[in-house]
Amino acid sequence: MIFELAASLALAWSAAAAPVAHVDTPSLDIFIGTLAVDKGEVILTRCDLGETRYRLHDGPGAQTVARYRANPGPAYAEVVASYGEQAGLPVLTVAEFAEIVPGRSCHLREAAETLATDAQVGTSEAAAAKAQDLTGHYYLTGVTEVGSELLLRPDGTFEWFLAYGAIDQAAHGKWRREGEAILLVADLSPADRPLFAFVAAEPWNAEAAEEVLERRQGAQNIALLARCPFLPGMDVIATTAPPILPGAAPVPAATLRDRAAAALRKAISARADVERLARKTMAGKSQDLSPGDVEAARDAAAAWRAARAEAMEAARAAGLPEPDLADPVLPAACALPMAADAAPPPTGLGVQVADLESGTPLRRVDVSLRFADGRIERMMTTGSGGYAFVEGPAGSAAVGATLHVDQEPERDATFAFPPVSSGILRFSMDRKQLALPAFTDLRLRIDDGALLLGGPGDGRYQRRP
C-alpha cells in the first residue's frame, strides 16, 4: 500500500511542481529541508528520517545560494536542484529556491515539539480519553526506500509527511478513532476558491530594475557561450585532500614539492592549450562552430580546470602557498562587458505572480497583457523573482491581463485595472490548488500501540517514546 501511495505522489508531483521547475531540465528535483551555513558552506538538512545533509552550490547563471550565504539564517526551503557527489558527499547544484520561509524548521518536527502544550478539544471527556492514548509522533518502520512520519495531536488534528526518493509530500487535517482504527481526513482546498487574484499595481522598483539588468546580462552570456564554448566553468572547484590510510608511510617533503612543481607545469601547459585553441577558433571568418570544435574547446577547458585544481591541492599538500594561476587570456570577442558599464533601467512595465500563502514568486505562469490601443503582449513569468517584463517601450497603457497555467487550463482568470504605463502589476496564485492531494482519507489499523497501513509488508507507524 505504501508503495502505491508513494508512486501516486510521483505522478502528483509532476503536475504540482511544474510552475517552479525547469521543464527543459529533467534532472532537476525538489528537495525539502532546512537551510544553514556551516563553515562557509550552505547546507540543506532534508526533512527525512535520516536528516540527510547536502552541500549547496549555484548552478550555471544562478545566484540563489550566494544570496542566501550573504544573508544567512535558519530557514525552511524547497530547493530545485540536481543531485551529485563530491568526494563521496552529497551535493545539490541549485537552480533556485521554489520556496524559502525564514525562521521555520521542518514542519513536522516543529509541530512535535509543541505537542505537549496543545490544547485538547473533544466532543466528550470519554471520547477524548479514548483517543488520548494514540496521540504522539510516529515513524514508519518496516519499509525500505520510504520515510514517513505522522503526528497525531490531542486536539484532533494531524500532520503527515512522506519522503520517497526525491519526492516529498505532506498532508494535514483531522483525525478520529473509529473502533480499532484511526481515520485521517486531509484538509483540501475549496473547489470554488479563485486560483488567481489581482493584488495591486505598484511603482517600478529597484528589484525589478536589477532583474531586468540580470536578464540582459544573462542573454549576453548565452550569446557569448555560443561563440566561445571554452568559457563555461572557469571557476575552480574546491577539492578535498585524499585521506591518509592507517599504516600508510608519510610522503617525503621533497617528493611533495616535486609533485607540486610538476602539477604547476601541467596547469600552465593546460592554460596555454586553452589560449591557443581559443585564438585558433576565433580566427575563423564564421562564428558558427562545428560540433567537433565545440567538443575540443570544452575538453581543453575541462583539462585546464582539473589541472589547476590539482596544482592547488599539490601545493597545499607540500605546505606551499597556492599558485597564482589566473584564468586564460582569451580573445576580445570572448570578453563580457563589465557589469559597471550597464545601468538598471529607470522605468519599465512588468508583471509578478507570487504564491498566495507564502509569497514565493512563481515561474511559468502565462500572462496576456492587454493595452489601451487593443494590442496584446504574451509573456511568461521566469527567474527567481517570478517576473515577466514588457520588452521595450510599452507605448500605450496596460488596462487588463489574463493569467493561465497549464495544470489548470480551464481556470484562466481575466482582470481589468486602471491604466498603467510604468510599474509592477502584482498577482497571486493559490499554488496549493495545483497539488493533487496525497490522499483524501487514510485508514490505519491500531495494533498494540502501533498504526498499520494495511497487509503484511506495508509497514507500521511506531510511536516515538
Q: What is the pLDDT of residues 404-434, one digit of tens each?
A: 999 888 899 999 999 999 999 999 999 878 7
Q: Is the pLDDT of residue 14 over 50?
A: no
DSSP string, 282-314: HTSS-----HHHHHHHHHHHHHHHHHHHHHHHH
Instruction: Find the range with the poorest average confidence among 111-125, 165-179, 198-212, 382-396.
Output: 111-125
Rounded to 5°, angle at Cα 284 from 278 and 287:
85
Determine the 3-state secondary structure of 269 from DSSP: helix
Sequence letter at residue 344: P
Q: Which long-range contacts (CB under 8 A, 24 or more apart) does 282-289 make?
A: 282/227, 282/228, 282/331, 282/333, 282/334, 287/226, 287/227, 289/227, 289/229
Residue 382's closest CA among 215, 260, 226, 187? 215
- pLDDT, one tens digit per residue, over 77-114 is 888 888 888 777 788 888 888 778 787 666 555 554 54
Query: Which phi and psi (to 5°) does residue 267 adopt?
Result: -65, -40
Determine the 3-state secondary structure of 168 from DSSP: strand
Residue 129's closest CA among 154, 111, 159? 154
- Rounded distance between C-alpha atoms, residue 390 and residue 376, angstroms: 11
- pLDDT, one tens digit per residue, over 266-306 is 999 999 988 888 887 777 644 566 777 777 877 888 899 89
Q: Residue 20, class by beta-carbon neighbours within 10 Å (0-12 exposed, 13-18 middle, 19+ buried)?
A: buried
- 164 — alpha (psi -120 to 50), left (phi > 0) or beta? beta
Residue 118's closest CA among 131, 100, 103? 131
Determine the 3-state secondary structure of 189 from DSSP: coil
Percentages of the chain per state (helix, strand, coil), in multiples of 5: 30, 35, 40
Mean per-residue pLDDT of the chain? 79
Q: Number of C-alpha atoms within 13 angstroms, CB side, residue 381?
A: 33
Whole-number pLDDT of residue 417: 96
- Rounded distance between C-alpha atoms, residue 375 and residue 371, angstroms: 5
Contact in structure between 151 and 159 (CB atoms under 8 Å):
yes
Residue 140's closest CA among 444, 448, 441, 440? 444
